[in-house]
Amino acid sequence: MAYGVKIAKGDAYKGAARKRRHIRVRKRVSGSAERPRLVVTRSNRGITAQVIDDNVGHTLASASTLDSSIRGVDGDKSAKAKQVGALLAERAKAAGVESVVFDRGGNRYAGRIAALADAAREAGLKF
């Protein structure tokens, strides 16, 4: 990841503040084989979470609102984020992962991000 990337400041670019926060977070957060990184990517329509081992660059487990088990379920976006968190924790445990490092991806730890994290913790993932 290029940390020397120039990012516009002010109102020139809507996502500039989020990108700056994401770069700050990634400087501190890195996953390993013992504690992989749980990455959360949020869009207006959905949410995706991956457990990544940064040493080798492999995705160990992933879950998304686009998964067939979650896609057809009724509910608001926060409810679907909770289901994504629980499904990710289940898949991560099946892959042998017990604890992770949380990467909120430049988003604030609130709303759907917090709902996903809480559901993953309740399902047994440690972070």
Residue ranges of the domains in the chain? 30-122
Q: Hey, what CATH class is 30-122 in?
A: alpha beta
Q: Annotate 19-59 with DSSP letters as a single string.
A: HHHHHHHHHH----SSS-EEEEEE-SS-EEEEEEETTTTEE
Taking a C-beta distance cutoff of 8 angstroms, is the pair 50, 62 a contact? yes
Q: What is the pTM assigned to this prediction?
A: 0.80
On average, the pLDDT of the chain sits at: 88
What pLDDT score does 24 carry?
Answer: 72
Span 27-47, average pLDDT:
87
Percent pLDDT > 90 in the chain is: 63
Count of H-run helices and E-run strands, the chain = 4, 4
Pairing of strands 101-103, 58-64: unpaired
Each residue's pLDDT tens digit, 60-95 = 999 999 999 999 888 899 999 999 999 999 999 999
> What pLDDT sits at residue 4?
62
pLDDT at 41 over 60: yes
Which among 16-20, 24-28, 70-74, 115-119 has the top mean pLDDT?
A: 115-119
